[in-house]
């Protein structure tokens, strides 16, 4: 293959193969491309979030509360577990959502020391609209892949993620 036919990662791999032929650089073909793709996808996803006045963190909080089902509320610990960020990060995200009126925070009915974060009607309406746009965007992003390719890629990524504990 001619170097100009290679993508960015392919050119890097070709350079390393020339400079260090003693090393197997084939993992770069996966890790490097996945890393570049993840950066590109993040940029494409945040455009939609921003169009609704949301950052990635606020979108994550609202989406997590919405998918939790009625009554659309979780403890901060439940939010942290469902979003896989630290409790400190959850607090900052919730505070931003509180300021906008998208969530409320109250004392737990079950434990007077605990708190509960709940989606407001405004927050629910916002996340419902934003999530529809988000899913349309994700459909667009994977649109060049056929159904079988999507299923295979999803399975491969799941298997790899489980192996790495991600």
Q: Single out the residue of 128, 125, 104 nearest to residue 116, CA to CA.
A: 104
Q: List pLDDT tens digits, range 109-130.
A: 777 778 899 999 999 999 999 9
Cβ atoms 133, 109 nearer than 8 A: no
Query: What is the average per-residue pLDDT within 64-68?
Result: 96
**Three-class DSSP category at 52:** coil
**Three-class DSSP category at 7:** coil
pLDDT at residue number 2:
59
Laid out side by side, the sheet with 115-119 consists of 73-74, 115-119, 103-107
Q: In this model, does residue 1 exceed pLDDT 70?
A: no
pLDDT at residue number 17:
94
Q: In this model, does residue 138 exceed pLDDT 90?
A: yes
Cβ atoms 48, 133 nearer than 8 A: yes
Residues β-bridged to residue 73: 118
Pick the CATH number of 53-164 from 3.20.20.70, 1.10.760.10, 3.30.460.80, 1.10.10.10: 1.10.10.10
The residue assigned the tokens 């392919």 is: 10
The residue assigned the tokens 């993620």 is: 161
CA pair distance 53, 81, nearest whole angstrom: 25
Q: Single out the residue of 64, 67, 115 nearest to residue 56, CA to CA.
A: 64
Q: Where are the domains of the chain?
A: 53-164
- pLDDT class for 107, splitting at 50, 70, 90? confident
pTM of the model: 0.86
Q: List pLDDT tens digits, range 5-63.
A: 899 999 999 999 999 999 999 999 999 999 999 999 999 999 999 999 999 999 999 99
CA pair distance 26, 28, nearest whole angstrom: 5
């Amino acid at each position: 293959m001619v170097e100009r036919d290679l993508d960015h990662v392919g050119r890097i791999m070709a350079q390393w193969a020339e400079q260090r032929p003693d090393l197997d650089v084939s993992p770069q073909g996966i890790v490097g491309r996945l890393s570049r793709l993840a950066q590109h996808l993040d940029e494409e996803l945040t455009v939609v979030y921003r169009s609704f006045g949301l950052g990635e963190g606020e979108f994550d909080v609202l989406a997590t509360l919405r998918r939790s089902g009625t009554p659309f509320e979780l403890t901060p610990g439940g939010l942290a577990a469902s979003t896989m960020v630290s409790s400190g990060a959850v607090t900052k995200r919730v505070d931003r959502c509180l300021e906008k009126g998208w969530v409320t925070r109250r004392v737990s009915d079950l434990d007077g020391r605990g708190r509960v974060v709940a989606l407001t009607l405004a927050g629910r309406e916002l996340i419902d609209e934003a999530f529809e746009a988000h899913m349309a965007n994700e459909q667009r992003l994977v649109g060049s892949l056929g159904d079988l390719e999507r299923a295979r890629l999803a399975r491969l990524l799941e298997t790899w993620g489980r192996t790495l504990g991600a």
